[in-house]
Amino acid sequence: MEWANQLCENRQFGSKMTDSKYFTTTKKGEIFELKAELNSDKKEKKKEAVKKVIASMTVGKDVSALFPDVVNCMQTDNLELKKLVYLYLMNYAKSQPDMAIMAVNTFVKDCEDANPLIRALAVRTMGCIRVDKITEYLCEPLRKCLKDEDPYVRKTAAVCVAKLHDINAQLVEDQGFLDTLKDLISDSNPMVVANAVAALSEIAESHPNSNLLDLNPQSINKLLTALNECTEWGQIFILDCLANYTPRDDRESQSICERVTPRLSHANSAVVLSAVKVLMKFMEMLPKDLDYYSTLLKKLAPPLVTLLSAEPELQYVALRNINLIVQKRPEILKHEMKVFFVKYNDPIYVKLEKLDIMIRLASQANIAQVLAELKEYATEVDVDFVRKAVRAIGRCAIKVEQSAERCVSTLLDLIQTKVNYVVQEAIVVIKDIFRKYPNKYESVIATLCENLDSLDEPEARAAMIWIVGEYAERIDNADELLESFLEGFHDESTQVQLQLLTAIVKLFLKKPTETQELVQQVLSLATQDSDNPDLRDRGYIYWRLLSTDPVAAKEVVLAEKPLISEETDLIEPTLLEELICHIGTLASVYHKPPSAFVEGSRGVMHKRLPARTGSGESTESPDVGTAAGGSAPEAAPSIIPSQGDLLGDLLNLDMAPPTTSGPPPPTTGMQMGGMDLLGGGLDSLLGGDIGGSPAMGAGFGAAPAVMPASLNAPVGGGLGDLFDLGGVGMPMGAYIPPKIVWLPAMKAKGLEISGTFARRAGVIQMELILTNKAMSVMTDFAIQFNRNSFGLAPAGPLQVLTPLGPNQTIEVSLPLSTVGPVMKMDPLNNLQVAVKNNIDVFYFSCQYPISMLFVEDGKMERQVFLATWKDIPNDNESQFQIKDCHLNSDAASSKLQGSNIFTIAKRTVEGQDMLYMSIKLSNGIWVLAELRVQAGNPNYTISLKCRAPEVSQCVFQCYEAVLKN
């Protein structure tokens, strides 16, 4: 202890009365000296000696050898000496358990002392001695102290129960201390209540399922009373405890909110944030049209703003929480943008958080201000911050469409600065802007290309390559640019390699004549010379596609990409709801549910926001009760897919969020006749003999990772076959409408056709009955469909092999595929059919139930469902009534399942069952539904949400048909 020696020297200079004098005895024999002093008769000398011992202890010196001598000093009426001895005991009892027993008698005696301060001190210290033998003796004194007449002793004893529980949980339960502790919640003294709550909360954390804090309106009332009178720390414990309560109705919720609101003006920021948590949670239950609701919203803003003028560490925690609050209720802080402006001497961790919130608050109204700020930040010194600021400009462009042009020009200005990392970030975000607003800002490509050489970060290189590939037709020397990257192909990172592969394939499809050599080169680099399975697989897929059917390849690779979503980096809604319940905790700082990381808590309960009572609006939250047990995802899905997201990027078709990474969808169509993919026909374009490559089989075996659900139909069928998915699940009892006459005999020279549609084993069938009502024999039947909304087409010839004699009837079933040409029909499910026979060609039109197109893998994951439901704008929602249906919800659900309408979750609110369902159409359109069934009421209500709202009417008709048959 060098400094201790120094201090000793200092001491020589003056009569400074400081503790440093206790550090003089660092020489050998010190222990011996101390021992003598501890056993001295003089009180004062004893005390000084104990102080010396403590001083040595605090700096980590081992003075445990003095244990018996120090314990001997314990029997004293000098409070200071007693306290010092206790300090020593707490530190060393564990290492000397046998000796510690010596102290027990004194403790037990002190617990009976007339002075409550001594009683409290004894029970407090005893709890800190983590020795099993001592805890046995602790029980009786503790029991007395819990019922002590003095509240100071009671409140100390309450904490002691938590200590004891930490040492020996079983003992605490056996001795019934938990019940005594629960009784203390009703204590007359607010400080005792607060400590009891704190102790119970801590114990409850290790017993997630015990009902320790059993809150009811009476105990809530007591807590609220204590809240006004206890210390600031007690208020934190009580507020955190209140947040776990679920009020019975909105009235109770409002009254709690009213009593908690004054805490928002507390000087202690932890009290403020805990109060915010309670209010954010209970607000959920208040009807939005209530005056009080808007009053409350207004009251929440000022305290949150005030937190930002506190110390930077407090600001940081506040900002992390505000980030959540802004996502949940943007209206609270929408006018407070300026308080998030960054000051140049803010610590970096505060700067980055502020920036994030600025983007979340950005809107058309304030975008000019925000952009001016961001541009300012982009010239700061701190590299990380500058990068994030540049990215933020891109996020603004994507979020606020009106500002896109301004953002792009700002980014161009920044590129002109030629500051290397600024340029690279700018290019990465411009790529995203292109994805959001295709064909709008391509004029800037030339400027981007000028900076090609300065890019050295993989993400920026990949972004630039993507841009070149995507707009190859507008860049004269695209091939040269890409070729220049190809030279060092194997030195590039995977994301650049993948992007380069895709870009060159795109280029080839756009300018096939000049780039054959280039594409060959990249394909062979990717497939033959690479160890990376992702790269190899992608290479093979392209290769196979190009060699088999260049037209299909074009449709896949150059398919129109879904636009990227407006909101970026949002936290997934269920997780957000859970985190709102954890405002002010570590979970809120890490934006992860507590179950994901808190070590001490085993199996934490997932908290949920309370549902609004009697909610009449179904738009609010399709709260699919994932309550306990449902594990929320680890991290929020970021919606702008990162370049590293290999699966999503497969085939260069980033899926619209959120993605399901389930198994690939089973094929919906029939076997495609002429598309023998694994056979020959590879020579059409390249002449490369791909079948000969031994890696081939393995490559394909590994490849079926994710097939984008939204692939357009023609290729969907083909690729599905490619990956040979095996059997398709057997549906049970799909609804088949009765056959009706489509073509009366009088209109078709004696040929009558009636029929219906069915879906069997995943295959759509058109079931026809042909009747010859004419006098002559009919032969040479053939059938053709006009273009239709879902690309239905006969998958084979009409199998009428024998001639159809007069008055003869034949039943034929015609398998259909969904890969035919598409044209939107009105009504949507209209199908125009031409049938030919030896007499003439006849035309008729029929309508198929859209349920034929519901595919077997239409069961969405809950999380995805929730996110999608929120993501689809409310305008796309339509509501229908199904009258006179007498099924209960379970029967309805299983009936619908037969027609591939999948129930994902069920929730019962006040006798009303809400079923959440998903449907997927053969062309990849998802329909989400909420079906409400009230027991005893034959009228169902159904709400449908779909990105293509036109289908809703048809889907509704299916529901009606399925449920009523």
Partner 1 sequence: MINSLFLINPSGEMFLEKHWKSVVSRSVCDYFLEAKEKALEPEDVPPVIHTPHHYLISIYRDKLFFLSVIQTEVPPLFVIEFLHRVAEMIQDYFGECSETVVKDHMVMVYELLEEMLDNGFPLATESNVLKEMIRPPTILRSVVNTLTGTSNVGDTLLTGQLSTIPWRRAGVRYTNNEAYFDVVEEIDAILDQSGTTVFAEIQGVVEACVKLSGMPDLTLSFMNPRLLDDVSFHPCVRYKLWESERVLSFIPPDGNFTLMTYHVNAQNLVAIPVYVKQSISFFECGSDGRLDVTVGPKQTMGKTVEGVMVTVHLPKTILSINLTATQGSYTYDNGTKLLVWDIGKLNPQKLPNLRGSLSLQAGAPKPEENPSLNIDLKIQQLAISGLKVNRLDMFGEKYKPFKGVKYITKAGKFQVRT
- Give dist(CA 736, CA 251) in Å, integer: 50
Shortest Cβ 460–partner 1 spacing (Å): 18
Burial of 372 (0-12, 13-18, 19+ CB in 10 A): exposed
Closer residue to partner 1 (CB): 32 or 344: 344
Closer residue to partner 1 (CB): 61 or 760: 61
| Binding to partner 1 in span 383-442, by CB under 8 A | 417, 419
Shortest Cβ 533–partner 1 spacing (Å): 32
Closer residue to partner 1 (CB): 205 or 645: 205
User: Is 258 a residue that touches partner 1 (CB under 8 A)?
Assistant: no
Residue 144 — left, alpha, or beta (φ > 0 → left; ψ -120 to 50 → alpha)? alpha
Shortest Cβ 815–partner 1 spacing (Å): 58
| Binding to partner 1 in span 40-69, by CB under 8 A | 43-44, 47, 51, 54-55, 58-60
Task: Please state the separation of Cα 697 from the chain's center in Å.
Answer: 36
Shortest Cβ 587–partner 1 spacing (Å): 7
Burial of 681 (0-12, 13-18, 19+ CB in 10 A): middle
Closer residue to partner 1 (CB): 199 or 682: 199
Closer residue to partner 1 (CB): 58 or 888: 58
Among 38, 49, 84, 398, binds partner 1 (CB under 8 A): 84
328 within 8 A of 364, measured Cβ to Cβ: no
Residue 583 is encoded by which pair of tokens? 């405002």
First-to-last CA distance in the chain?
89
Shortest Cβ 366–partner 1 spacing (Å): 12
Q: CB neighbours (10 Å) of residue 44?
A: 10
User: Is 603 a residue that touches partner 1 (CB under 8 A)?
Assistant: no
Binding mask 85-124 for partner 1 (x = CB under 8 A): --x---x-----------------------xxx------x
Among 36, 65, 68, 79, binds partner 1 (CB under 8 A): 79
- Give dist(CA 751, CA 652) in Å, integer: 50
The length of the chain in residues reads 965
Closest CA to 46 of 77, 16, 9: 77
Among 187, 240, 534, 857, binds partner 1 (CB under 8 A): 240
Q: CB neighbours (10 Å) of residue 443?
A: 10
User: Is 594 a residue that touches partner 1 (CB under 8 A)?
Assistant: yes
Following CA atoms 854, 858, 859, 864 in sequence, which dihedral angle do they give, to the nearest 10 degrees?
A: -130
Shortest Cβ 576–partner 1 spacing (Å): 18
User: Is 166 a residue that touches partner 1 (CB under 8 A)?
Assistant: yes
User: Is 648 a residue that touches partner 1 (CB under 8 A)?
Assistant: no
User: Is 190 a residue that touches partner 1 (CB under 8 A)?
Assistant: yes
Q: What string of DSSP letters covers 855-919?
A: -TT----HHHHHHHHHHS-GGGEEEEEE-S----HHHHHHHHHHTT-EEEEEEEETTEEEEEEEE
| Binding to partner 1 in span 198-237, by CB under 8 A | 198-199, 202, 205, 229, 231-233, 236
> Which listed range, 39-47, 100-108, 428-436, 652-660, lies at the site for partner 1 (CB under 8 A)?
39-47
Tokens 């002093």 locate to 37
Binding mask 321-360 for partner 1 (x = CB under 8 A): -----------------xx-x-xxx-xxx-----------
Shortest Cβ 428–partner 1 spacing (Å): 19
Among 49, 178, 260, 317, binds partner 1 (CB under 8 A): 317
Q: What string of DSSP letters covers 122-133?
A: HHHHHHH---HH
Among 267, 730, 746, 775, binds partner 1 (CB under 8 A): 267
User: Is 584 a residue that touches partner 1 (CB under 8 A)?
Assistant: yes
Shortest Cβ 382–partner 1 spacing (Å): 8
Helix (H) or strand (E) holding 87: helix 79-92
Among 62, 140, 183, 380, binds partner 1 (CB under 8 A): 380
Position 47: which residue type? Answer: K
Shortest Cβ 53–partner 1 spacing (Å): 10
Sheet holding 793-794, edge to edge: 740-743, 751-760, 763-772, 809-817, 793-794
Closer residue to partner 1 (CB): 119 or 859: 119
3-state secondary structure of 794: strand
Q: How many residues bind partner 1 (CB under 8 A)?
A: 110
Which residues have C-beta within 8 Å of that of residue 1, sequence separation ≥ 6? 23, 26, 59, 61
Closer residue to partner 1 (CB): 584 or 924: 584
Closest CA to 853 of 922, 926, 925: 922
Backbone angles phi, psi at 328, to 5 degrees: -80, -50
Q: What string of DSSP letters covers 907-925?
A: EEETTEEEEEEEEEBTTS-
Among 134, 191, 690, 919, binds partner 1 (CB under 8 A): 191
Among 29, 600, 673, 694, binds partner 1 (CB under 8 A): 600
User: Is 318 a residue that touches partner 1 (CB under 8 A)?
Assistant: yes
Which residues have C-beta within 8 Å of that of residue 916, sequence separation ≥ 6? 622, 624, 865, 903, 904, 905, 906, 907, 928, 929, 930
What's the alpha-carbon Rg for the chain, to the nearest Å?
37
User: Is 661 a residue that touches partner 1 (CB under 8 A)?
Assistant: no
Closer residue to partner 1 (CB): 191 or 764: 191
> Which listed range, 395-403, 600-608, 648-656, 789-797, lies at the site for partner 1 (CB under 8 A)?
600-608
- Give dist(CA 452, CA 586) in Å, integer: 43
